[in-house]
Amino acid sequence: MTAVEARHGVADGYAYCRDLTRREARNFYYGFMLLPEPKRSAIYAAYAFARLADDTVDSARPRDEKLAGLAELRRNLDASAKGSASGPLWTALADTIQRFNVPLEHLGELLDGCQMDLDIGRYESWDDARRYCHAVASSVGLVSLEIFGYSDQSARRHAADLGIALQLTNILRDLREDAERDRIYIPLDEIRRFGYSPEELFAGVVNDAFRRLMAHQVARARECYGGARRLLPLLDRRSAACCAVMQDIYSGVLDEIERRDYDVFSERASVGKARKLAITARYWAKASLGR
């Protein structure tokens, strides 16, 4: 293969990841758009990898097939790191790993977190649930940080906070869907402490105990977003704008959950497209004007 042919293959791979991200990342895509190239394409590749891993464990296939799927992802990830991967996603990911010196441990941790979804359906404490959130989300935040670029080592802690905040928001938004998969990510000790029960959660019961439980989780998520805000001054303007858009959109999901008095069972909480565009435009203007 000539160098021109190789670059053409990489370009096709990034185009594939871009199209997948545009189609599937209804919230993240708005922030990604603010990144310059080649960071934007690299983020698309990282998202496509994370999406494939998530879809592998969330599919309706038998557990042994899901485990086989994760094993295949690990093999393809290893091949990408060695430059011997094939297929559009893996070609793009291989280029991203090489171009931005992305540590494989972060991508591997994401797969470890996805395996937790197959092995663990309940988390007794927040420490347990936090470890899961770190595996499936902070890992992606740390991959993204390598793509953004940083010099202050504290950025790693704040990027991890952002991943946990985003994942906890997803957990609260998706309680019904996760219950249908027999998964509860809210800590069981906190469910008991607030006078609620897993059985009520599976039945979609919204009562005062549930509202108190959810208010506690929302407050925790907002605290994590507060830590994540400390990341922004440590990034270049466009990367900071990307993160700020994602934070504001996902904080808007928390606002919507509160507006509905914590009823996340009747309808999925979301932020409208007009509001997403307004948030994106505001941070694009700030990044462009250097303010």
52, exposed or middle or buried, with CB in 10 Å at 0-12, 13-18, 19+? middle
pLDDT value for 1:
40
> 3-class secondary structure for the chain?
CCHHHHHHHHHHHHHHHHHHHHHHCCCHHHHHCCCCCCHHHHHHHHHHHHHHHHHHHHCCCCHHHHHHHHHHHHHHHHHHHHCCCCCHHHHHHHHHHHHHCCCHHHHHHHHHHHHHHHHCCCCCCHHHHHHHHHHHHHHHHHHHHHHHCCCCCHHHHHHHHHHHHHHHHHHHHCHHHHHHCCCCCCCHHHHHHCCCCHHHHHHCCCCHHHHHHHHHHHHHHHHHHHHHHCCHHHCCHHHHHHHHHHHHHHHHHHHHHHHCCCCCCCCCCCCCHHHHHHHHHHHHHHHHHCC
CATH code of 1-102, in short, is 1.10.600.10
Domain 120-291: CATH superfamily, name plus number: Farnesyl Diphosphate Synthase (1.10.600.10)
Which amino acid makes up residue 103? P
Q: Residue 73 CB: number of other CB atoms within 10 A? A: 20
Tens digits of residue pLDDT in 154-207: 999 999 999 999 999 999 999 999 999 999 999 999 999 999 999 999 999 999
Same fold, 1-102 and 120-291: yes
* Cα angle, residue 57 at apex, residues 54 and 63 outer, rounded to 5°: 170
User: Looking only at Cα atoms, what is the longest distance across the chain?
Assistant: 66
Q: Measured between alpha carbons, how far is 133 from 54 in angstroms, rounded to an integer?
A: 13
* C-alpha neighbours within 13 Å on the C-beta side of residue 66: 19
Domain assignments of the chain as residue spans, ordered by start:
1-102, 120-291
What are the distances in angstroms from CA 171 to CA 130, 132, 174, 179, 235?
Answer: 12, 11, 5, 10, 27
- Report CA dihedral (275, 229, 227, 165) to the nearest 10 degrees: 30
Tens digits of residue pLDDT in 132-143: 999 999 999 999
Say whether pLDDT at 247 is over 60: yes
Average pLDDT over residues 51-70: 95
Q: What is the CA radius of gyration of the chain?
A: 19
Mean pLDDT of the chain: 95
Tens digits of residue pLDDT in 215-246: 999 999 999 999 999 999 999 999 999 999 99
pTM: 0.94
Say whether pLDDT at 94 is over 80: yes
Say whether pLDDT at 2 is over 80: no
